[in-house]
Structure 1
């Protein structure tokens, strides 16, 4: 008998471009998972909420708890509105939350948007807090998406998400490997914002610029890039390294955008080993996959042995929300949704707290 789940997946990324909501159906058939994306929406954050989330890392303990609850209430209300708008009855909600701290070496990873408040205001069960158990088991708590890549997108050799931070996952020697590659949209959007644009549409500004060799050398310098996996990046690292270099640059914004695209493409090229004979399929998703110049740079750096593929816009924009919905399904079923081969934990685990309402 086929087993199906209707789930709302939620993702709030480091680029702060809004709350991604995806209503998905997952069907387990003939020992394979099949997904469908049924309804989607991205809710832009108000300037006030952006300021609160950006400032959360320096907030007092009381302010941080209050924001955690308030953001959970906001998410729950938006989910309830989404449910009413589309006249749907999902089984539950799976929420990643918004990352404020990610310092796994200190056993810290905090995502705001408390599950109890989401459940209370969405009036639905909620699965959330996917990272904590893995960190308690000695892992990085990230990346989390690779199990979804393995079970939903196995046709591709590599799955790369070009979000605020770019990451990759791929199979090797019977295991799934994954790690964060470099900062991506956190840098590109910062530069675009500095000239009054929400983002660099199609990478047009970057295309018009020239390479700043000094900035490229600074961006490529951190030891992280040569370090072996498992490894992951947080906003704190990006602020201290990549963003500091970008902000210190004296070249015009177009030149710095151009250079960041080259940096991201070079780091992707270094991160992808040859897995087999023949051409390798590379799936690109996340907001950066809409940046045509960045996609071209990635293909150029990788060369003809790799075929870069950008899927339909809905998958590009909502793949992470889709996969967090799927992580919720695995948690609901009591099956592993976090891989020790990816995170370095002592064992693969069933991550996620459940709030029933």
Structure 2
């Protein structure tokens, strides 16, 4: 039975809250509903940045974050012209402030019970903890949704999400899934733009476009041991921060942005070595697809078609929010969220914590 679900995603890029409505049974999608992005104000963005790693006033920031999500739900429902009582469930990812699966730790702030109370809607949150506790990476979580969207597409196919961290879903001809984090996504670029230009991101890749890639540094970056490590594997937002700083910290703003952008594309290219078969096409979602310098770098590195998912009729800005709507319904139905090929967990595993309303 299909349900009307509302998904919420706050990504590691720290740009804002994505919200989307979806009619789904957790296996197929009947209809896509309205979606929106609510940007963070500078105060909340700064507060989130200050607690990355699990330091500082986490409880206070979690309260503010949860209230901001409730306001976003209200705004989306008003735009859609529907009342809360027709929504069956909210999938609430929260915001990742720490991800250390090798220590069996992952931390997404966001109070599911408080959100249920504020909205009057049943909430599913804490999607990653069960997988990590069972020895999985806890990420990526979206591959099962990618597979649902990609039905009918030519395979093998790669779906690349470029958020703060990059992650890829490889889909085989028989529906087989393999997924893992590729490396840095937008986070290093965003942090560089913030540090050097007081901008939250390198809008349209303008800063990178004005600089030059240091090819020797790019080659050195490619030797990071993460890239040779076999999947399953996942990353915290800041895992590459110190390494990248050592490589580009001496550069000017433009050349640093250009080289960091090349890092993201090179990391994606290196991921191909782990695929069972080469992907015939790469479909790109996430905020990184809006960066023309990054997209051009991906095309040069991958040498096969690189397609913005918007060209297929997918909503690339809402896709991860839609995914958490989809996953919430899977949780309600007792369907697995993670699989050996996506997180390395020993067997398909359910997840998520339900707060009924």
1:354 counterpart SS class: strand
Deviates more, 1:43-52 or 1:82-91: 82-91
Partner of residue 176, structure 1: 177
1:42 counterpart SS class: strand
The number of residue pairs the alignment matches comes to 346
Return the alpha-carbon distance in structure 1 between the equivalents of residues 139 and 351 of structure 2.
11
Return the alpha-carbon distance in structure 2 between the equivalents of residues 182 and 121 of structure 1.
36
Q: Is the CA contact (8 Å cut-off) linking 1:6 and 1:25 kept in structure 2?
A: yes
Partner of residue 125, structure 2: 128
Partner of residue 34, structure 2: 39
Relative distance call for 1:309 and 1:348 in structure 2 (3 A) is same
Partner of residue 323, structure 2: 323
**Per-residue deviation, 1:241:** 2.7
Partner of residue 100, structure 2: 103
Task: Give the unaligned 5+ runs of structure 2.
Answer: none
Return the alpha-carbon distance in structure 1 between the equivalents of residues 48 and 293 of structure 2.
30
**Per-residue deviation, 1:22:** 0.9
Instruction: Give the TM-score normalised by the residue count of structure 1.
Output: 0.89
Q: Is the CA contact (8 Å cut-off) linking 1:92 and 1:124 kept in structure 2?
A: yes
**Per-residue deviation, 1:252:** 2.1
1:241 counterpart SS class: helix
Partner of residue 292, structure 2: 292
What does 1:1-357 align with in structure 2 at a 5 Å threshold?
A: 3-26=1-24, 33-57=28-52, 63-88=57-82, 89-154=86-151, 155=153, 157-172=157-172, 175-193=176-194, 194-243=196-245, 245-246=247-248, 248=249, 250-273=250-273, 280-303=280-303, 306-312=304-310, 315-357=315-357
Q: Is the CA contact (8 Å cut-off) linking 1:338 and 1:349 kept in structure 2?
A: yes
Q: Is the CA contact (8 Å cut-off) linking 2:2 and 2:30 kept in structure 1?
A: no
Instruction: Give the TM-score normalised by the residue count of structure 2.
Output: 0.89
Deviates more, 1:255-264 or 1:97-106: 255-264
Q: Is the CA contact (8 Å cut-off) linking 1:24 and 1:322 kept in structure 2?
A: yes
Q: Is the CA contact (8 Å cut-off) linking 1:212 and 1:251 kept in structure 2?
A: no
1:315 counterpart SS class: coil
Q: Is the CA contact (8 Å cut-off) linking 1:137 and 1:347 kept in structure 2?
A: no
Task: Give the unaligned 5+ runs of structure 1.
Answer: none
Return the alpha-carbon distance in structure 2 between the equivalents of residues 58 and 162 of structure 1.
21
Return the alpha-carbon distance in structure 1 between the equivalents of residues 54 and 316 of structure 2.
33
Return the alpha-carbon distance in structure 2 between the equivalents of residues 130 and 10 of structure 1.
12
Q: Give me the CA root mean square deviation.
A: 2.3
Return the alpha-carbon distance in structure 1 between the equivalents of residues 289 and 253 of structure 2.
20
Relative distance call for 1:294 and 1:236 in structure 2 (3 A) is closer
2:7 counterpart SS class: strand
Deviates more, 1:74-83 or 1:231-240: 74-83
